[in-house]
Amino acid sequence: MRERKPIDWKRYVRQRLPTLGLSGAREQEIVEELAQQLDGAYSEALARGESVAEAEGRAAAQIPNWASLALEIRRAEQPLVEKIAATVPENWREAMREENLRKRRGGNMFADLFQDVQYALRMLRKSPGFAALVVLTLALGIGANSTIFSVINGVLLRPLPYSEPEQLVRVLESNPGKGWPTFSVSPPNFLDWRAQTHSFAGLAATENNAYTYTGGDVPERWTGPQVTEGFFETLRVQPELGRLFIPDEFQPGKNHVVVISDALWRSAFAGDPAAIGRSVSLDGQSYTVIGVMGPKFRFLSAATQVWAPLVFTPNELQNARGAHFLGDIARLGPGVSLAQAQSEMAAIAERLEKQYPVSNSGWTVAIVPLSEGGGVAQIRPALLVLLGAVGFVLLIACANAANMLLARATVRHREIAIRLALGAGRARVVRQLLTESVVLSFAGAALGLLIAFWSTRVIAALPPRFLPRAQMVSVDGRVLFFTLALALVTGILFGLAPALTLGREDLAGALKDGGRAGAARGGLRKLLVVAEVMLAFVLLSGAGLLVRSFTHLTSVDLGLQTAGRYAFDLSAPQTRYPTPQKQLEFFSQVQQRVAALPGVDSVALVSLIPISGDDEMYEVALAGQPSSESNPSALSYRVTPGFLRTMGIRLLAGRDFTAADDLTAPHVCIINDVFARAMFPGRDPIGQKIQFGHQFNIVREIVGVAGYVNQYGPAEEKSLQVYEPFAQFPRTDMSLILRTSGSGAGLAAAARVAVREVDPQQAVIGFRSFDELVSESVSLPRFRTVLLGLFAGLAALLAAAGLYGVMSYTVTQQTQEIGIRMALGAQPSQILRLMVSRGMGLVAAGVALGLAGALILTRVMQSFAAFLFGVKPNDPATLVAVTILFAVVAATACWLPAWRASRVDPLVALRYE
């Protein structure tokens, strides 16, 4: 046996180990250490008595793969940064180049900012799906806010388009005792005010009016107020063409002049400047056009077409102190405050009350800023609540965006670690991350502005009953500024938490493993989801309450039938029909012709259309009692026989009017059940006699009792109502009601023909269905219900998306745990239950908090704006319904990721990193 030469293990190792790329000395050390290891194994084997060949095999088996050993050693040995550089995937290199560039450039705030933005854009371009999702989420939130702010800006904030608009007020009568905070003004009171007050630089009255214009192809209705001297001067406006009224034109007989609106000038005169001086026929009388207002001028209503001088009749001046029908406009004198004017006017009203106790007792004066007019005061609470709602939506959108950033942090945190390793300050990194989120929020704001542009255009087209001053709503500089500020705040809000968590990243930890340092982030994400669920729940509860209120409103018994009923207005102008008999004849002929139209079942005339929201009220008293302001008031309807039947109004007792109740017969009337209960408690009202407003001295006998009919809308307080035969009290302006069993299509045109056949000079005005009238009467509740519902739905959707995101993330994070459980025998159904229950835990926490929030907030909402009708703020049905709805949505959002989890292959899961 020949002695074998001992093996040179160092050489053995050196021959096999690939170059490590380390310093020569260090490589030598490693080779020596490894050689000793092999030598140890070899010697030990020999000592055990194994053959040389066997011992060699033992040593060789110590290192089965030299290449992978070299790789591992290289990884363990190389300095951090070089090591990273060697393994950095292509998409991280950018971060390094960036950081190096930055260092070379040195600190300059603006250059840094510019670089940050550029870098952010590059990063976002690289993950377009993520960026799109965040931008879309934010766009919805910001768009909703910009839209509602545009509305608030246009309706509440934007100054009125007059010079020094804050001085403009309306001086109105007020009767707190009757529950009328503001009321129209009577002409004698107005003239006394104007004679006695020193508070105003201008005070002018207006009386709404409408004319039938017969100069065109077909008769047209022109509407617009008559105004007293000083109206335009008080507003400080000038005409675009021609001139305004001169004092002489307020003399009786000289007042047949009109100023017209820009819109009317364009439609009736094709914008011809020669319209000035033209003579037009209104209600059969000749008026001269003296001026055209500018396109932007409007007073309270954009629909105003024509202004004419208002001259009071002697009768109005002497006997009409109790007749309230004027509006007015005033400008506070220089240095006079609203409160000073109010106290002066209150003193004047008190004097008038003493002077004219019969007509003025209980009446005082209320001064209202013009900016509060036209329903603005009523809409304000709704708008503020909506602003709160979209604020919630934006918060939820922020939480979602933050959640998405946190999820991405898992991907980003190696990149951040590299930048920290390369010497970037933590503050610098946080700033970079914030820049990214602000860039995202600005992109969201840009898209949100598009949404706002579009939606404000829709809102601006809403009729004034829906939203006062709607035409003022647009995206202007202020909205733009609001949106930009919002975008900045939003970007910081949703970016801050993720940026801080990332900036605090543990360097070594981040590089050590692929992203398991996410436990803290997971907690934050869950917190965000709980907050989202809470906010969305509060919004949904509020919306739910409004929806319930709205269904209550629309199911209120209006006291009449609307299906197949239509109405239009009709005049028999005094100039063409000078006597009551002639007026009656005209209306009766029209009624007969319309009744003969195919498909028309019945026709009636009425002076005041029920549910229209218009009113005509007079004092009412038992026969023999004196006229007094303390007498109750009743709505007045003059009707033809068959009106109650045509309208589907219940006749509870007595009889309807007949053709025999005419000018020669004793005066009769029908009262409603509210009247009967109030004035004749426990007595039969039939045969009782009353006196009533417009011709108070005439005693009427009650011949029937009708059911209560809604006049203003379903939420109104019930008022007294009196019906009288039109034949006994004729008048020039009536409405025609018709009932059809057909579709109603073509009825308007047919009615127009029928009216023209009777008198080609008269127009069919405002043909509308009763369904439209009812729908209009609930337009404000519908406005806020629809919008709040929309925002609540959006909020719920965003919250569900957030929940889904967190659940998906959690499932991914727990894939290993799921794998272990399944490997140990857990059933997919158990996994499903476990994962869903984890998600639902978050939902339950959010809902519990939301429930508390909803109880508080809806109470606040109700106290500051009486939105709820027939529902209490803590309505259990609504809260339960919202909870169930939420549970279903949330369960779906949890179920999908959980289902995926339950389908995981245990082998894959265990290997999952």
Partner 1 sequence: MQPELKKGTAEVLILSLLEQRPRHGYEIAKLIEKRSEGVLEFHVASLYPMLYRLERRGWIEGRWLEKPGQRRRRFYKLTTAGRRALPEERKNWREFIRAIERVAQVGNA
Q: Which residues bind partner 1 (CB under 8 A)?
A: 29-30, 32-34, 36-38, 40, 62-65, 68-69, 72-73, 75-77, 508, 513, 516, 816-817, 820-826, 910-911, 913
CB closer to partner 1 out of 63 and 302: 63
Query: Six-digit token pair at 846?
Result: 């959010």
Smallest distance from the beta carbon of 24 to partner 1, in angstroms?
16
CA separation for the pair 747, 840 (Å, rounded): 58
Smallest distance from the beta carbon of 146 to partner 1, in angstroms?
48
CB closer to partner 1 out of 20 and 896: 20
CB closer to partner 1 out of 17 and 727: 17
Location of structure tokens 């439609």: 267
Smallest distance from the beta carbon of 60 to partner 1, in angstroms?
11
Smallest distance from the beta carbon of 500 to partner 1, in angstroms?
25
Chain-centre distance of CA 41, in angstroms?
81
CB closer to partner 1 out of 153 and 815: 815
CB closer to partner 1 out of 40 and 760: 40
Smallest distance from the beta carbon of 95 to partner 1, in angstroms?
23
Smallest distance from the beta carbon of 821 to partner 1, in angstroms?
5
Smallest distance from the beta carbon of 839 to partner 1, in angstroms?
19
**Residues 775/374, Cβ–Cβ less than 8 Å:** no
Smallest distance from the beta carbon of 83 to partner 1, in angstroms?
10
Residues 6+ apart with CB under 8 A from 628: 358, 361, 619, 621
CB closer to partner 1 out of 732 and 816: 816
Helix, strand, coil percent content, the chain, rounded in steps of 5 = 55, 15, 30
CB closer to partner 1 out of 71 and 745: 71
Longest dimension (CA), the chain: 156
Give the three-state DSSP class for 566: strand
What b/e readout covers 809-839, taking b as 16+ CB neighbours within 10 angstroms?
Answer: bbbebbbeebbebbeeebeeeebbebbbebb
Location of structure tokens 């914008």: 271
| Residue 783 Cα distances to 392, 611, 613, 770, angstroms | 19, 18, 17, 19
Smallest distance from the beta carbon of 802 to partner 1, in angstroms?
29
CA separation for the pair 866, 879 (Å, rounded): 19
Nearest to 394 by CA among 86, 658, 143, 128: 143
Location of structure tokens 């059911």: 707
Smallest distance from the beta carbon of 137 to partner 1, in angstroms?
34
What b/e readout covers 88-104, taking b as 16+ CB neighbours within 10 angstroms?
Answer: beeebeebbebbeebee
**Residues 304/298, Cβ–Cβ less than 8 Å:** yes
| Torsion angle (degrees, nearest 10) of CA 726, 727, 733, 738 | 60
Smallest distance from the beta carbon of 512 to partner 1, in angstroms?
9
CB closer to partner 1 out of 84 and 584: 84
CA separation for the pair 194, 205 (Å, rounded): 10
| Torsion angle (degrees, nearest 10) of CA 677, 680, 686, 687 | -160
Smallest distance from the beta carbon of 824 to partner 1, in angstroms?
3
Concatenated DSSP letters for 350-401?
HHHHHH-HHHHTT-EEEEEEGGGTTTHHHHHHHHHHHHHHHHHHHHHHHHHH
Smallest distance from the beta carbon of 482 to partner 1, in angstroms?
50
CB closer to partner 1 out of 36 and 837: 36
Smallest distance from the beta carbon of 820 to partner 1, in angstroms?
5
CB closer to partner 1 out of 109 and 824: 824
| Torsion angle (degrees, nearest 10) of CA 676, 682, 685, 687 | -170
Give the three-state DSSP class for 144: helix
| Residue 63 Cα distances to 16, 59, 83, 231, 626, angstroms | 10, 8, 24, 104, 121
Smallest distance from the beta carbon of 37 to partner 1, in angstroms?
5
CB closer to partner 1 out of 870 and 906: 906
Smallest distance from the beta carbon of 77 to partner 1, in angstroms?
5
CA separation for the pair 224, 701 (Å, rounded): 38
**Residues 235/328, Cβ–Cβ less than 8 Å:** no
Give the three-state DSSP class for 819: helix
Concatenated DSSP letters for 627-668?
P-TTS-EEEEEEE-TTHHHHHT--EEEE----TTSSTTSPPE
Smallest distance from the beta carbon of 826 to partner 1, in angstroms?
5
CB closer to partner 1 out of 69 and 332: 69
CA torsion sign for 895, 901, 902, 904 is: positive
- In a 13 Å sphere around the CA of 871, the CA atoms on its Cβ side amount to 28
Nearest to 34 by CA among 57, 55, 52, 11: 11
CB closer to partner 1 out of 271 and 509: 509
CB closer to partner 1 out of 696 and 912: 912
CB closer to partner 1 out of 22 and 500: 22
Give the three-state DSSP class for 222: strand
How many helices (H) and strands (E) would you count in the chain? 29, 24
CB closer to partner 1 out of 30 and 560: 30
CB closer to partner 1 out of 33 and 905: 33
Smallest distance from the beta carbon of 99 to partner 1, in angstroms?
23
Residues 6+ apart with CB under 8 A from 736: 567, 568, 569, 570, 590, 591, 594, 603, 604, 605, 751
CB closer to partner 1 out of 8 and 733: 8
CA separation for the pair 845, 838 (Å, rounded): 11
